[in-house]
């Protein structure tokens, strides 16, 4: 092989290595893997440094890929933040899908919240990222009509459950307060419980929800 041939082969290999989504596997699986790796790294950086304090270059450097590789999967840093925000929506959807089409009771509501808490505890860092970057996420709401529709749908499901006239006012108020306990204990608390393990925090929030739903402490 001549020097020219060797140089051409090396250039071809380098070009293949820089192509988005390549590295492990092939085709759609490799692309999906790269996309998820981008989201995972961005989650860490957005949580630790904030959305505004993180650049696309830093995300690329952490992944050891090029910036064009990131732009192949996401058109902007805002698109990455939106994808992370939508992960939260995906945690909530299955829980309320369980309640759809059936008579809601305090017991079924409490069971659904326990399931939601398990998922939230497993994705606790995602919620910390959300809390730290509220201003940036609010901007998404101003420019993304499709996201607003999704958000409104989830809120409407909450309201329908809490407005069910077949339930007593006492029960519906308890349901609303227990929902506040879930999001207050995990989402709005920010770093207040940072030193508490996810397992312990989940147990304590479940205990608070149980008090509210069953009226055990009354």
Q: Where are the domains of the chain?
A: 18-75, 78-214
Instruction: Find how far residue 152's CA is from the centre of its chain.
Output: 17
Helix or strand holding residue 68 (H, E): helix 67-73
Tell me the average pLDDT across 4-20.
Answer: 37
State the CATH class of domain 18-75: mainly alpha
Q: How far apart are the first and last CA of the chain?
A: 85
Helix or strand holding residue 154 (H, E): helix 145-162
Query: Is 0.85 topped by the overall pTM?
Result: no
Q: How far is CA 95 from CA 104, 116, 171, in A?
A: 13, 6, 19
CA 85 to CA 39: how far, in whole Å?
A: 11
Contact call for residues 182 and 204 (beta carbons, < 8 A): no
Interval 52-61: pLDDT, tens: 999 999 999 9
The region of weakest confidence among 8-17, 141-150, 157-166 is: 8-17
């Amino acid at each position: 092989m001549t020097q020219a041939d060797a140089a051409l082969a090396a250039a071809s290999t380098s070009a293949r290595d820089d192509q988005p989504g390549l590295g492990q596997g092939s085709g759609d699986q490799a692309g999906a893997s790269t996309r998820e790796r981008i989201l995972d790294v961005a989650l860490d950086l957005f949580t630790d440094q904030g959305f505004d304090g993180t650049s696309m270059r830093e995300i690329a450097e952490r992944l050891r890929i090029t910036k064009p590789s990131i732009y192949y999967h996401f058109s902007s840093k805002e698109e990455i933040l939106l994808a992370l925000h939508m992960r939260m929506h995906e945690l909530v959807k299955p829980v309320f899908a369980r309640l759809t089409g059936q008579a809601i009771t305090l017991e079924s509501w409490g069971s659904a919240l326990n399931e939601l808490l398990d998922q939230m505890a497993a994705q606790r860092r995602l919620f910390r990222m959300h809390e730290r970057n509220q201003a940036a996420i609010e901007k998404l709401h101003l420019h993304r009509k499709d996201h607003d529709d999704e958000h409104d749908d989830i809120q409407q499901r909450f309201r329908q459950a809490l407005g069910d006239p077949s339930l007593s006012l006492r029960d519906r108020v308890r349901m609303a307060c227990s929902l506040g306990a879930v999001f207050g204990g995990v989402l709005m608390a920010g770093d207040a419980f940072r030193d508490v393990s996810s397992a312990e925090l989940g147990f304590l929030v479940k205990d608070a929800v149980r008090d509210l739903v069953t009226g055990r402490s009354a």
